[in-house]
């Protein structure tokens, strides 16, 4: 898992990615094991909704230069995380490859 949504009683508040951890570990040696998740998470994660089409999710990924989206239902409940790999594996390798080209 390359990303974990961070949820409070109010709903989605952030996301911790493998990149967040690496960047913080490299710059702040006191982070791991002693700091709260809020110190390393990215706030305002990019989201999509469960009823959107894979091509729409890929467009969101490309627009925001991210490889993962937090998936919500329309009431704001977190349902999971969608990755480019998920789309390649379950929908379209070609579309996922094109989106990855836009992201990198």
Q: Are residues 11 and 43 in contact, defined by beta-carbon separation less than 8 angstroms?
A: no
How far, in Å, are 38, 54, 83 from residue 57 at the CA level?
A: 26, 5, 9
Enter the pTM of the model: 0.82
Per-residue pLDDT of the chain (104 residues; tens, 9 = 90+): 789 999 999 899 999 988 888 877 666 655 556 778 888 888 999 999 999 999 999 999 999 999 899 999 999 999 999 988 888 887 777 777 777 777 76
The domains found in the chain, sorted by start residue, are 3-103 (3.10.580.10)
Count H helices and E strands in the chain, helices first. Answer: 4, 6
Which pair of structure tokens corresponds to residue 74? 């329309």
């Amino acid at each position: 898992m390359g990303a974990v949504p961070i949820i409070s009683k109010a709903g989605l508040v952030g996301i911790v990615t493998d990149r967040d951890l690496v960047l913080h570990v490299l710059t702040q040696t006191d982070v791991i094991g002693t700091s709260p998740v809020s110190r390393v998470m990215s706030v305002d994660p990019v989201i999509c909704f469960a009823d959107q089409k894979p091509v729409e999710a890929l467009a969101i990924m490309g627009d925001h230069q991210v490889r993962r989206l937090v998936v919500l239902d329309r009431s704001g409940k977190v349902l999971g995380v969608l990755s480019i790999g998920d789309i390649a594996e379950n929908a379209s390798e070609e579309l996922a490859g094109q989106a990855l080209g836009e992201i990198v």
